[in-house]
């Protein structure tokens, strides 16, 4: 993992308001948040400048989140980037599919609290203290 001060997060989401909200919440904690309006743009940005973490919406009009996730994991350059699914599609079966079948790193249901988002991002990126227990 890159050990630079600022963690770069790519938010792939078709609603600009949600990107702005996530940028506001995470920006206060020193994260650099780049938005991508939908799956197609998200895949392009992933290739141009691979982030430290991806926040991925599932329901998008052009390419849905699961397709973006599969393409990401198929690429050598992006396959090791952690993914947090952020979606309104919050039935338990979706969460089980996401975490256990697709192996996403975490799953946040909309609407979420700022603290839930921060906790998840910090847990995945190991921001607080590095947990060295095996």
**Residue 59 forms part of a structural domain:** yes
C-alpha dihedral, 66 to 75 to 5 to 45, nearest 10°: -70
Domain limits for position 14: 8-125
Per-residue pLDDT, 82: 96
Please give the model's pTM, rounded to 2 decimal places: 0.85
For 33-91, how does the pLDDT look when each residue is reduced to its tens digit (9 = 90+)? 999 999 999 999 999 999 999 999 988 999 989 899 999 999 999 999 999 999 886 66
Instruction: Indicate whether 131 belongs to any domain.
Output: no
Both tokens assigned to 133 = 């227990």
- The per-residue pLDDT for 5 is 66
pLDDT digits (tens, 9 = 90+) for 76-101: 999 999 999 998 866 655 665 656 66
Q: Rounded to 10 degrees, what is the CA torsion of 10, 30, 108, 14?
A: -40
Report yes or no on 100 lying in a domain: yes
* Number of independent structural domains in the chain: 1
């Amino acid at each position: 993992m890159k050990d630079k001060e600022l963690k770069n997060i790519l938010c792939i989401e078709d609603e600009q308001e949600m990107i702005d909200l996530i940028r506001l919440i995470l920006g206060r904690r020193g994260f650099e948040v780049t938005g991508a309006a939908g799956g197609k743009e998200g895949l392009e940005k992933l290739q141009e400048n691979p982030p430290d973490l991806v926040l991925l919406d599932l329901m998008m009009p052009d390419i849905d989140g699961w397709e973006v996730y599969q393409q990401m994991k198929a690429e050598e350059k992006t396959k090791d980037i952690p993914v947090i699914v952020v979606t309104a599609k919050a039935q338990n079966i979706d969460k089980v599919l996401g975490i256990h079948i697709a192996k996403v790193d975490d799953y946040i249901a909309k609407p979420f609290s700022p603290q839930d988002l921060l906790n998840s991002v910090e847990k995945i990126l190991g921001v607080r203290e590095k947990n060295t227990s095996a």
